[in-house]
Amino acid sequence: MKIEGYFDEFLSPRIGIPTSGKIISVVVDTGFNGELMLPRTVLQQLGFEYSMKSEAELADGSIVESTIYHGKIDWFGKERTVQAVVTESEDGLMGTEMLFGLTLFMDLDERRVVLEGKK
């Protein structure tokens, strides 16, 4: 199984993550080591539930408080419970925690992004 995506007009690699009846578009962000970061409205639409508050260190070294939710997605044919950090951005992010057991292929010239399960 694989998920195919693309590079958008800002050269951000995007894929669609299947959830309960919806596909959410996220940017693949290898600088984010969590699972997901999603806008509050998307978390509400997906029925994710509040989990906890947590502190996170940003790339500039500053510490911010984050709100964490949890919910289920369909990930390569299996139901997976994930944690998602709330973002005020319109864009959701998928971090490196989601890449275990997968191969990520990106070809900017062809504007292709592919996530594929290892055999």
Single pTM value for the model? 0.88
- The one-letter amino acid code at 34 reads G
Q: Residues with Cβ < 8 Å from 79, sequence gap 6 or more?
A: 72, 73
Quick count: other Cβ atoms within 10 Å of Cβ 45?
14
DSSP 1-48: -EEEEEE-TT--EEEEEE-SS-EEEEEE-TT--SSEEEEHHHHHHHT-
Name the CATH superfamily for 2-117.
Answer: Acid Proteases (2.40.70.10)
The domain spans of the chain are 2-117
H/E run at residue 82: strand 78-87
pLDDT per residue as tens digits for the range 4-39:
999 999 999 999 998 877 889 999 999 999 999 999
What tens digit of pLDDT does each residue of 59-82 get?
788 888 889 999 999 999 899 999
Provide the pLDDT for residue 119.
73
